[in-house]
A and B are shown apart, each in its own frame.
Chain A
């Protein structure tokens, strides 16, 4: 790649957080000439809040990222220090993998991956503004970025993933610091660039708890929480190319000796526990007595914070009758003594924080390494985006991550991946890749954002997905393989293995529905193997691996992940079939696209309220239109007729000519 500043990149990604890393890798992996700009190369892929990846719904997102060729899953697997499968006692659809990560190892490995990625250039500079040009039709398009080094970079598309850095303002009691994260800078001029282009901005707030020195903690007073002996991983190792895990997968031509070994260890090795403790009455009293000093409660903060991640002030005020609150101490890595205290996010002054921490069993003598703080930042309400994550206001400009009002590394990474894929596709003149609400949590996430927007930092919950029964984490690769194939998002060899796996699973699902155990083979009941499996499930008998597994010979030979998927499809067959029918019905309108230049104002028969909403949101499909609040089924009928009229009008025009 030429180092000349006159290079016109296909994709420039601004920001190297979880969204930016995925965006840059995704674009470069489909061959787009990509530049990743970050204000600080030493904070690439930093976990600004707790050192953990996954959990409910988020764990499924990470697996989807892996299915679409992203990096977060494998990066987590190889740098995690503890794995746990959540909801193990519940059904597969709501089980989620979660991992504690070695924060620094995670960053190093991600940075190394970026460095070695062909067609990707990494550069340290802070983006201070966007370069626009007129699109000749009254709008504008982005053509590059300006940086703090007075260097301009030009590109056909730009992906903005600036997280909480836009006019970031941190609060610790009455103390205020500018920055998107403690120790980091605040991007102030970029906001002006957005406003100039007519992109609206609003404020959100989030917070993070103090970090403690491990040597000052008395762990004997706490309960350990250990990882699973048999870890559930995020990446699909069963279809991944062999030997690609511990070495440099990209960038070393075959046959050349490896000069560098990427950081990482065998997943699940030497797991490290977390620790549980509780707040006390003294903690509660301290919070109540000092409430007036809290930045949040004294009116210093205007941004809206998330309800699912309340500060300790909120917890004691809103749930005053709850005597104590659970806290987790999470290790930040193998090679550090720093601990994150999950559950104690606050914007109280530092002196109160110290007292508060020391009111907790095991933390009587704790030393704080970093204070807790709240941060306010600008976000760009995501209803200003198309489902491709491209701006409706500025062509070729894409947004992903916290700037869209989300929270969480996984949500950010999922959007980054899609923005990167779609920016690259745009430069090739290809239609964007849009995941349906019925296909993936990432599809639900983006559809919610662009259709409904958000008032608080948006976090994914499994309950947000209408069809979550179809979203069991193990099926991500199977569900999304059509997109992976069509977009060339995974290697041909991996794709072939995914297809083979899908075939095996389909084959054995129908076989078990057909085959009957020989008399005496199982001793119980009648019917097919599938009937037998369902009977066992309804009695609550253990399913799965080892001695409890039943089935015909060939089935028992399958890898456990395949068998688990077959079992799921059989035991939940009735409900899964119902979901599929609903999806099929939905798709009929979901597939009716609305052209970008469609004039809602000219459609006769729409109610005034719906017309306004449709013009604001500018849905790209009749399905999306139907999810806008206030748009009625009758409006959809009118829309369908108008679209059909337009289509026929076009055909008549053509035949006239």
Chain B
């Protein structure tokens, strides 16, 4: 990519106006959403081979055909999301007549959603109700007598999807998106009026006003997107920090939760010098665990560096597991750290319970407590449950009802809207300013993306906003 190409827009954010074409690659969950043992994801379209190559890290010309393969799925950030079984079927011999890719991952809905979201980021789009079957029919894979069944199926699916969507839109979500659309249209009107009415006696163009308004909309878009099932947790995992004195058993606890020996464990205090992170599943949630250097009241030089990083982790934590050695319980903590321990986000974990029979946690702590043993596995099941509960209490913070949480398709639309808005804001801030018709083109991309959530936004509505706010007409 050459650096100075101001008017070249990124490819992946193309505006999708009609969603019935066969040229693009679609993805969807093929099994019903729920906690079944396996979730099957289906991908169909010309990009299937490329996607297989990317996520399973194989050369595109070495994708096994028609045979199940067991491998780790890597998301765009390089994380391994799951170990799963996948099968690649080249067209026209597949069900849809196109190249297809089928993934059977663990039944955890979170994992399936994570994978879907990653596929969307890689250029797939969510399939319409019944679209796989439609493609199969149009590709001649189903015969004429099945056509009516296909139509009934599409109908039934879309009715159901519609019902779900309407229930959601009746809740706060519809209003929130509608509100964002209205503000976008007003901003667009403020731009378009100078394009379409250059001869009018208009107030001077105020790009700062537009920019401020759009920054607001972008924030709103991001906030909404973050409600996607426990919000940003979905993409990044719940950031959970293991904190405690040296030798308390933090690294041991991480290994126990991860289920393998990930962190170095040692009998000497100060084993962990730098933090390390690992993704684990706790119930339906994805958790990003951070093992940190122990907090020592009298640290040496190297320890001091490690502890600075511990503090950094702590300030960004969604959840803190304060690990205390139950055989030598001391709850003293430097105020720099203690100040970060706000109630609601802390669990006090008394470790080495095996060495402290009859230990009872002090009752006056402002945080919930429990006793475990990383060594024997004592209390680890309960720890998982307590973490799950804590995460669910954390999850949707804002006006936090279920209705508000967006689904993967809506989150994808919000993501594209956000990307378009990013381009618009860059364009408005550029020096010299980007050509206004290009800014407008990206802004329309954002409107169209949001329109996929609430229903197509007619251009006429922008004109309504324009004529309501500007006196046009010589």
Which residues on A are within 8 Å of B, measured CB to CB? 55-57, 86-87, 90-91, 93-94, 306-310, 314-315, 318-319, 322, 325-328, 342-343, 345, 452, 461-464, 466, 468-469, 527, 531, 534-535, 537-540, 571-575, 577-579, 581-582, 584-586, 588-589, 603-607, 622-623, 626, 629, 632-638, 640-642, 644-645, 648-649, 652
Closest to B19 in A: A633
Measured in the bound complex, the distance between the Cα atoms of B468 and A318 in whole Å is 9
Q: List 25 A-B contacts (CB under 8 A).
A: A87-B198, A307-B463, A461-B463, A463-B192, A463-B196, A463-B440, A463-B463, A466-B17, A469-B441, A538-B7, A539-B432, A571-B7, A572-B438, A573-B7, A573-B8, A575-B7, A575-B438, A577-B11, A589-B21, A605-B155, A607-B159, A622-B20, A633-B20, A637-B158, A641-B138
Contact of A640 among B20, B153, B198, B436 (CB under 8 A): B20
Task: Give the tally of cross-chain contacts (CB within 8 A).
Answer: 208
B6 close to chain A: CB less than 8 A: yes
A90-B436, A641-B147 are known contacts; what are 13 more A-B pairs with Cβ within 8 Å? A307-B472, A308-B472, A343-B474, A463-B192, A534-B4, A573-B7, A573-B8, A574-B8, A582-B16, A603-B151, A605-B151, A638-B151, A640-B20
B380-397: which have CB < 8 Å to A? none
Judge whether B9 and A637 touch: CB under 8 Å: no
CA distance A621 to B207 in the complex (A): 40
- B474 touching A469 by the CB < 8 A rule? no
Name the B residues within 8 Å of A603 (CB-CB).
151
Known contacts A534-B7, A572-B7, A586-B17; decide if A637 and B474 are in contact (CB<8 Å).
no
Scan residues 433-474 of chain B and give those whose CB is less than 8 A from a CB of chain A: 435-438, 440-441, 444, 456, 458-460, 462-463, 467, 471-474
Please name the residue on chain B nearest to A581 by beta carbon: B14
Within 8 A of A (CB), among B257-315: none
Measured between beta carbons, the chain B residues less than 8 angstroms from A345 are: 473
Q: Is the CB of A578 within 8 A of B432?
A: no
Chain B nearest CB, measured from A551 CB (Å): 18
Q: Tell me how far the C-beta of B424 lies from the nearest C-beta in chain A, rounded to whole angstroms.
A: 13
User: How big is the B interface, by class?
Assistant: 35 or more
- Whether the pair A55, B199 counts as a contact (CB closer than 8 A) is yes
- Are A585 and B471 CB-contacts (below 8 A) given A575-B438, A637-B154? no
Cβ contact within 8 Å between A308 and B473: yes
Which A-chain residue is minimally distant from B158 (CB atoms)? A634
Which residue of chain A has the shortest Cβ distance to B456 in the bound complex? A629
- B4 x A322 contact (CB < 8 A): no
Q: How far apart are A613's CB and chain B's nearest CB, in angstroms?
A: 13
The CA-CA distance from A466 to B456 in the complex, in Å, is 13
Please state if A585 and B432 are interface contacts (CB–CB under 8 Å): no
Q: Is the CB of A652 within 8 A of B456?
A: no
Bound CA–CA A308/B474 (angstroms): 9
Residues of the B chain whose Cβ atoms lie less than 8 Å from the Cβ of A55:
199
- In whole angstroms, what is the CA distance A463 to B197 when docked? 11
Which residue of B24, B151, B473 contacts A310 across the interface (Cβ within 8 Å)?
Answer: B473
A-contacting 9-mer, from B67-75, B80-88, B107-115, B127-135:
B127-135
Q: Are A637 and B131 in contact (CB under 8 A)?
A: yes
- B195, A585: Cβ atoms under 8 Å? no
Task: Name the distance in Å between A415's Cβ and chain B's nearest Cβ.
Answer: 20
- The reply on B15 being an interface residue by CB < 8 A is yes
- Whether A534 contacts B21 by the Cβ 8 Å rule is no
Q: Is there an interface contact between A91 and B437, defined as CB atoms closer than 8 Å?
A: yes
Whether B18 is near chain A, meaning CB under 8 Å from some CB there, is: yes
Q: Is the CB of A604 within 8 A of B18?
A: no
Is B152 interfacial (CB-CB < 8 Å)?
A: yes
Decide: A637 near B20, CB < 8 A? Known: A94-B437, A642-B147: yes
* Chain B neighbourhood of A629, CB < 8 A: 456, 458
Which partner residue on chain B sits nearest A652 by CB separation? B144
Complex CA–CA separation, A634 to B154 (angstroms): 7
Instruction: Report Cα–Cα, A406/B8, bound state, in Å.
Output: 36
Given contacts A571-B7, A641-B150, contact A527 B18 (CB under 8 A): no
User: Which residues of the partner chain A approach B158 to less than 8 Å between Cβ atoms?
Assistant: 607, 632, 634-635, 637
Please, which residue of chain A has its CB at the minimum distance from the CB of B436? Answer: A90
With a cutoff of 8 Å between Cβ atoms, the chain B residues found around residue A634 in the complex are 128-130, 154-155, 157-158, 161-162
- Cα distance A635–B15 in the bound complex, in angstroms: 21
B330 at interface (Cβ–Cβ under 8 A)? no
Asked if B198 contacts A588 (CB within 8 A), the reply is no
B134: min CB distance to chain A, Å? 5
Decide if A93 touches B144 in the complex (CB within 8 Å). Answer: no
Q: Is the CB of A574 within 8 A of B472?
A: no
**Which residues of chain A are within 8 angstroms of B192 by Cβ–Cβ distance?**
461, 463
| Chain B residues within an 8 Å CB radius of A306 | 473
A578:B11 contact, CB within 8 angstroms: yes
B144 touches A86 (CB 8 A): no
Contact of B195 with A582 in the complex, beta carbons under 8 Å: no
Whether, in the assembled complex, B148 has its beta carbon less than 8 Å from a beta carbon of chain A, the answer is yes
Question: Within 8 Å CB of A589, what residues of B?
Answer: 18, 20-21
Give residues 155-196 of B contacting A (CB, 8 Å): 155, 157-159, 161-162, 192, 195-196
- Also in contact, A327 and B462, with CB within 8 A (given A307-B467, A578-B14, A582-B15): no
Asked whether any CB of chain A lies closer than 8 Å to the CB of B137, the reply is yes
Asked if residues B154 and A645 are in contact (CB atoms below 8 Å), the reply is no
Min distance, Cβ A272 to any Cβ of chain B, angstroms: 17
Chain B residues near A464 (CB, 8 Å)? 459
A421 to B9, CA, bound (A): 39
Contact of B8 with A585 in the complex, beta carbons under 8 Å: no
